[in-house]
Amino acid sequence: MRKSKDRRLKTRIIFFVLLLFTIHCSLFTASNAESPKRIISLAPSITEILFAAGLEDRIVGVTNFCDYPEQAKEKPKIGGIANPSLEAVVSLKPDIVVMTMDGNPREFQQRLDAMGIKTYVFRSHRISELPDGIRKIGIALDEKKMFEDLALRIEQSLDGFNTAKANTSGKMLFVIWPEPLIVAGPGTAINDAINLLGGINIAEDAKGRYPKYSIEEIIRRSPDVIFFGRGKGMDRISRKLLKRLSSVPAVKNKKVFYVSDSLYRLGPRVISGLKELEEHLSKKK
Partner 1 sequence: MGQVERNMKLKLFTIILAAMVIFAAALFIGPKFINPFNVNGIEKEILISIRLPRVIVSVLMGMALGASGAVLQGILRNPLADPYILGISSGAALTAVVGIIGGSAFLGIVTIPLLAFIGALITGIFVGAMGWKKGGFWPERLLLAGVGLGFLFSAMLMLIMSISSDEGLRRATLWIFGDLSIADWSVIPYGLVFIAVGFIISISRAKALNALILGDELSHSLGFSPRRERFILFISVGLMTAASVALGGMIGFIGLLIPHVGRFLIGSDSRVLIPVSALGGGMLLCIADLIGKSVLSPMELPAGIVTAIIGAPYFLYLLRRKDVLSI
Return the number of the residue (88 or 121) whose C-beta is nearest partner 1. 88
Centre a 10 Å sphere on the Cβ of residue 138 and count the other Cβ atoms it contains: 22
Find the binder of partner 1 among 131, 185, 199, 267 (CB under 8 A).
185
Which of these segments, 72-80, 134-142, 197-205, 224-232, binds partner 1 (CB under 8 A)? 72-80
Centre a 10 Å sphere on the Cβ of residue 272 and count the other Cβ atoms it contains: 12
Return the number of the residue (105 or 170) whose C-beta is nearest partner 1. 105
CB of 114 to partner 1, least distance (A): 8
Rounded Cα distance between 154 and 131, Å, is 7
Rounded Cα distance between 123 and 132, Å, is 10
Find the binder of partner 1 among 67, 79, 219, 275 (CB under 8 A).
79
CB of 81 to partner 1, least distance (A): 8
Return the number of the residue (211 or 249) whose C-beta is nearest partner 1. 211
Centre a 10 Å sphere on the Cβ of residue 37 and count the other Cβ atoms it contains: 12
Rounded Cα distance between 142 and 37, Å, is 10
CB of 205 to partner 1, least distance (A): 14
**Interaction of residue 80 with partner 1, rule CB under 8 A:** yes
**Interaction of residue 177 with partner 1, rule CB under 8 A:** no
**Interaction of residue 74 with partner 1, rule CB under 8 A:** no
Return the number of the residue (187 or 198) whose C-beta is nearest partner 1. 187
CB of 94 to partner 1, least distance (A): 11
**Interaction of residue 208 with partner 1, rule CB under 8 A:** yes
Q: Binding to partner 1 (CB under 8 A): which residues in 86-125?
A: 86-88, 90-91, 93, 102-103, 105-108, 110-111, 114-115
- Beta-sheet strands, E only, within the chain: 39-41, 59-61, 96-100, 118-122, 170-177, 182-183, 199-201, 225-229, 256-259
**Interaction of residue 264 with partner 1, rule CB under 8 A:** no
Rounded Cα distance between 107 and 104, Å, is 9
**Quick one: the chain helix, strand, coil %, rounded to 5?**
50, 15, 35
**Residue 100 · residue 48 · CB < 8 Å:** no
Return the number of the residue (62 or 256) whose C-beta is nearest partner 1. 62
**Interaction of residue 84 with partner 1, rule CB under 8 A:** yes
| CA nearest neighbour of 254 among 263, 262, 265, 245 | 245
Bridge partners, 173 (sequence order)? 226
| Number of chain residues interacting with partner 1 (CB under 8 A) | 34
**Interaction of residue 78 with partner 1, rule CB under 8 A:** yes
Q: Annotate 102-139 with DSSP letters as a single string.
A: TTS-HHHHHHHHHTT-EEEEE---SGGGHHHHHHHHHH
- Residues forming the site for partner 1 (CB under 8 A): 64, 77-88, 90-91, 93, 102-103, 105-108, 110-111, 114-115, 182, 185, 207-212
